[in-house]
């Protein structure tokens, strides 16, 4: 079934309102052609242009063509929404059949680090195949030891907190890996006496998901035409993007702080103000001396600019 937002105003009122709003930001023509039953007087008064309802001839054909195209575009849009909803439903049903239990809420983690530094994890939550961004979470992890240790830490922190706060558990935990990641997540889940199943994502030589791995390490192949394949790929891409975004943010913040610490005249208060004003290393580096002067004295601004742009 389609979820359609109801319209609480009359159709003609909504149409008239749209035309007025459109011409607030677009160039007005000398004449506007509209279909029957449009409130011509209201439009002419609001826009101060000639508005006509053509009854015959080429202009009538032009209006009819516009209406026909609009209806087709509208129908195509809803057909696409319906198709996507159907495919999501098929993917969730397939997953439920594989696991022999109803699946609605899925959580997936992705851990990120560079040579052990800035060890972080991202969690994304999908409900009935759709992302629930209000439930996404970031985690700064302990010093990196191994991928399995990182998995154990983030799984423990996530589900111990849900237990402590008496919040609902997911129907499924997906780990981005095979046997090792599944066993790490199992160990923590079992120690907390939690009921949800765990599956892993098995990759091929091109790092594309080719199968689901169940807790008994059985592999369930996934066809690239299967809606479940597309759903899992989307989840994988989303959690990877979310984790990497957080990793870059922490890394940039750390780099900015370390460089600022080496500049004479930049103490804790000025460093805090610069970071608060420019938000990121990229924006701070691209700032002109004049822009930096809005935050720190002129000589200090010159030093900051020279330190961040040595090539100049």
**Phi and psi torsions of 25, nearest 5°:** -120, 5
CB-CB neighbours of 213 under 10 Å: 20
- What does the CA dihedral 174, 179, 182, 187 come to, rounded to 10 degrees? 180
What pTM value is reported for the model? 0.59
Domain ranges of the chain: 11-99, 105-240, 262-308
CATH number of 105-240: 3.30.420.340
Nearest CA among 146, 212, 136, 226 for reference residue 179:
212
Tell me, what's the pLDDT at 251? 65
- Tens digits of per-residue pLDDT, 135-171? 999 888 777 778 888 899 999 999 999 999 999 999 9
Return the minimum-mean-pLDDT range out of 176-185, 188-197, 227-236, 252-261.
252-261
Highest mean pLDDT among 140-149, 180-189, 248-257, 282-291: 180-189
- Tens digits of per-residue pLDDT, 215-249? 999 999 988 888 899 889 888 888 888 888 866 77
Return the minimum-mean-pLDDT range out of 35-39, 53-57, 82-86.
82-86
- Tens digits of per-residue pLDDT, 200-219? 988 877 777 888 999 999 99
- Tens digits of per-residue pLDDT, 74-110? 777 767 666 677 888 899 999 999 999 999 999 999 8
Return the minimum-mean-pLDDT range out of 46-60, 239-253, 283-297.
239-253
Per-residue H/E/C for 153-185? HHHHHHHHHHHHCCCCCCCEEEECCCHHHHHHH
CATH architecture of 262-308: Orthogonal Bundle (1.10)
CA atoms within 13 A on the CB side of 97: 8
Using alpha carbons, list the distances in angstroms from residue 247 to 151, 180, 200, 243, 283.
16, 23, 23, 6, 18
Does 289 or 9 have the greater pLDDT score? 289
Tell me, what's the pLDDT at 3? 47
- Neighbouring residues of 170: CB distance < 8 A, sequence distance ≥ 6: 105, 106, 107, 125, 196
């Amino acid at each position: 079934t389609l979820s359609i937002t109801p319209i609480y105003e009359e159709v003609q009122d909504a149409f008239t309102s749209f035309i007025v709003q459109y011409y607030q930001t677009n160039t007005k023509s000398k004449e506007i052609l509209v279909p029957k039953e449009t409130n011509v007087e209201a439009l002419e008064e609001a826009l101060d242009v000639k508005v006509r309802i053509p009854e015959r001839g080429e202009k009538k054909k032009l209006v009819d063509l516009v209406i026909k195209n609009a209806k087709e575009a509208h129908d195509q849009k809803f057909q696409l929404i319906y198709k996507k909803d159907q495919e999501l439903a098929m993917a969730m049903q397939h997953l439920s059949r594989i696991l022999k239990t109803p699946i609605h809420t899925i959580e997936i983690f992705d851990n990120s680090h560079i040579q052990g530094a800035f060890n972080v994890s991202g969690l994304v939550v999908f409900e009935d195949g759709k992302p629930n961004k209000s439930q996404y979470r970031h985690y700064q992890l302990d010093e990196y030891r191994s991928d399995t240790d990182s998995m154990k830490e983030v799984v423990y922190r996530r589900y111990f907190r849900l237990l402590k706060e008496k919040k609902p558990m997911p129907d499924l935990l997906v780990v981005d890996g095979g046997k090792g990641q599944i066993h790490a997540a199992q160990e923590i889940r079992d120690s907390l006496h939690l009921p949800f199943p765990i599956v892993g994502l098995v990759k091929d030589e091109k790092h594309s998901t080719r199968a689901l791995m169940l807790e008994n390490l059985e592999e369930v192949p996934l066809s690239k035409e299967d809606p479940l394949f597309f759903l899992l790929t989307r989840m994988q891409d989303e959690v990877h993007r979310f984790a990497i975004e957080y990793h870059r943010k922490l890394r940039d913040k750390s780099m900015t702080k370390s460089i600022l610490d080496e500049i004479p005249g930049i103490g804790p208060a000025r460093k805090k103000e610069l970071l608060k004003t420019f938000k990121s290393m990229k924006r701070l580096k691209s700032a002109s001396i004049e822009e930096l002067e809005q935050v720190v004295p002129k000589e200090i601004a010159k030093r900051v600019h020279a330190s961040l742009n040595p090539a100049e």
